[in-house]
Structure 1
Amino acid sequence: MIFGSHVSIRDGYLGAAKRAAALNADAFQYFPKNPRSLSVKSFTREDAELCQDFCIQNGLVSVAHAPYPTALTPSGDHKREQVTASLLNDLAIAEACGSLGVVVHFGKDIFKEDQLASYRLMIDVLNEVLSQWDGKGRILLENMAGKPGAMGTTLEELVKLRELCDYPEKIGFCFDTCHAFTSGLWNGDNWTQVEYQGVENGYFEHLAVIHFNNSRYGTGSGKDRHANIFDNGHIKEGQFAELVASTQLINVPFILETPKEIIPHQEEIRQLQQKWGKK
């Protein structure tokens, strides 16, 4: 099992990798730049390449996460230009760091009375970005935490959207356990059904990373509030254990985005490794 957490880049990309190693992690996630900005970052390639070398030497897996304002259904031409330039910048940084790719949240329904228009816009934006991208790193679409029926809350949607893009080979998936739980996709007791659906539609073939988070709210609530894995969340240990034991998730990194103020990530990674690290 591969466990890790989100880490800061305040000491650069190499610093982020070293921070993950100090946590005794096997993987880490990072924001390639300011998480609240779509500005294009001029980064130090040497630092990124040193990060990649360090990860190779220490057996670390890394993945980038696009800044929060990144929207695959942008409103207006100016925002679309910003998102496109920002994502290409994120992909370039992730590639230089040797990362799996860039996690991007599935698009939202901005055309309230025409959801199909939102899907079409999302496909157009992905095509525009990926037509200009020739690296190995992929865009990793993340399932959403909305109420049941909201965009991006089913595996079938993610798979179909990937298939409809012109560059499906440049797209993979990120599965967020909190989002799946609060959207009702995974209610904690139906993993067998989720796994069957994922196998049937080919989802797991393109799954690159798991955001391993508990939820402060119940299944179907639609709320995105993370809790620590073993600390009073609504997803119980036995329910997590069934997911972790899935043969479909072997060698997929589990990345914590849990509140480190409550349980430090180093301690939570230790707990995970002690509980499920040896298979």
Structure 2
Amino acid sequence: MWIGSHVSTRRGYREAARFVQAIGGNAFQYFPKNPRSLQLKSFDRADAERCARWCRDNGVVSVAHGPYPVNPAAEGESAEQAVLSTLNDLAIAEACGSIGVVVHFGIYKGRDPLQGYTNIVLWLNRVLDRWTGQAKILLENLAGDHGPMGTTADELVTVRSLCARPEAVGFCLDTCHLFASGQWRGPDWEAFAARAREIGFWDHLAAVHLNDSRYPAGSKRDRHARFAEGEIGRKWLRKLLETPEIRRTPLLLETPADEDGTHRRQIERVRQMSKMEEAE
């Protein structure tokens, strides 16, 4: 299994990979550039390529996460800025040997929600029309704190199917978002997993944000808790880890750090819980 956490790249991309291995992980997520801005980054390609080689040699996988202002459902100048920003992120991810770039599904405040979905499909087409690399766009489900758009697996599957190059689009499942939105409430995990299997969601899952939740199911509040210490809790996270499609996908913690400032203890907890499932 690939298990790790989000890590800083302030010391470079390769050092981020080495750091996650030092705390017991073999997978990591990183921001290619400032997560609060759409400003493009001129990156150190040699460092990125060293990261890619090191990861290949050491069995480590990585995923990039795009900046928060990227909103695929937006219109006008901001949409074009987000296109250019995402192309920049894809180039960095490609150089680092990463699976792809996580992009939040999109938020639309207009009167017609269908226009919001149309905007997302068109935005994906605009990015992918200019992208020829192997790194994918990984659409992430939302928590529902800005409205219901993007909270269901069906939406992600449908949008992917409608874009011009669906093979260049995958999914990132955030477990806190799924719980906060009410799409998963704990005991109904098997029903969600079966529906995801039926519609082909699992076929294109490329990353999992393995986050517990500070608030109850359906709260529409996106606040992460340490793994197995929140409202989802150990019982239902263990049930999630039983799912074969989850176990073969990189599991990335975006949770508050442990007392030592790292995710070492939580990574070990995930591994222990996974081994318990194997033993049973």
Structure 1 length-normalised TM:
0.95
Pairing 1:254–2:251 present: yes
- The aligned runs of 1:194-209 (5 Å cut-off) are 194-209=192-207
Pairing 1:83–2:78 present: no
Deviation, structure 1 residue 110: 2.4
What residue in structure 1 maps to residue 49 of structure 2? 49
Instruction: Give the conservation status (yes or no) of the 8 Å contact 2:145–2:222.
Output: no
CA–CA separation in structure 2 for the residues paired with 1:272 and 1:90: 29
1:4 aligns to what SS in structure 2?
strand
- The aligned runs of 1:1-279 (5 Å cut-off) are 1-75=1-75, 77-111=76-110, 113-146=111-144, 150-231=148-229, 233-260=230-257, 264-277=262-275, 279=278
Deviation, structure 1 residue 148: 10
Deviation, structure 1 residue 266: 1.1
Once the two structures are superposed, what CA deviation does each residue of 1:43-91 show, in whole Å capped at 9, x if it has no partner?
111100000011011110100000111111224x221221010000000
AA of the residue aligned to 1:82: Q
1:209 aligns to what SS in structure 2?
strand
Once the two structures are superposed, what CA deviation does each residue of 1:214-256 show, in whole Å capped at 9, x if it has no partner?
001110111100001132x100211111110112223201100
CA–CA separation in structure 2 for the residues paired with 1:97 and 1:5: 17
CA–CA separation in structure 1 for the residues paired with 2:180 and 2:86: 27
Deviation, structure 1 residue 277: 4.3
Instruction: Give the conservation status (yes or no) of the 8 Å contact 1:143–1:180.
Output: yes
1:55 aligns to what SS in structure 2?
helix
Instruction: Give the conservation status (yes or no) of the 8 Å contact 1:213–1:228.
Output: yes
Instruction: Give the conservation status (yes or no) of the 8 Å contact 1:88–1:133.
Output: yes
AA of the residue aligned to 2:115: A
Instruction: Give the conservation status (yes or no) of the 8 Å contact 2:141–2:173.
Output: yes
Identity %: 49
CA–CA separation in structure 1 for the residues paired with 2:130 and 2:25: 33
AA of the residue aligned to 1:8: S
Structure 2 length-normalised TM:
0.95
User: Using a 3 Å threshold, how does the CA distance of structure 1 residues 35 and 149 change in structure 2: closer, same or farther?
Assistant: closer
1:240 aligns to what SS in structure 2?
helix
Deviation, structure 1 residue 149: 6.8
2:183 aligns to what SS in structure 1?
coil
1:157 aligns to what SS in structure 2?
helix
Deviation, structure 1 residue 274: 2.2
Deviation, structure 1 residue 261: 5.2
CA–CA separation in structure 1 for the residues paired with 2:198 and 2:122: 27
Root-mean-square deviation (CA, aligned residues, Å) is 1.5
CA–CA separation in structure 2 for the residues paired with 1:63 and 1:181: 22
CA–CA separation in structure 2 for the residues paired with 1:185 and 1:235: 13
User: Using a 3 Å threshold, how does the CA distance of structure 1 residues 12 and 147 change in structure 2: closer, same or farther?
Assistant: closer
CA–CA separation in structure 2 for the residues paired with 1:171 and 1:120: 16
CA–CA separation in structure 2 for the residues paired with 1:25 and 1:217: 27
Structure 2 gaps, min length 5: none
User: Using a 3 Å threshold, how does the CA distance of structure 1 residues 274 and 181 change in structure 2: closer, same or farther?
Assistant: same
AA of the residue aligned to 2:8: S
CA–CA separation in structure 2 for the residues paired with 1:147 and 1:219: 12
AA of the residue aligned to 1:237: R
CA–CA separation in structure 2 for the residues paired with 1:147 and 1:224: 7
Aligned residues: 276
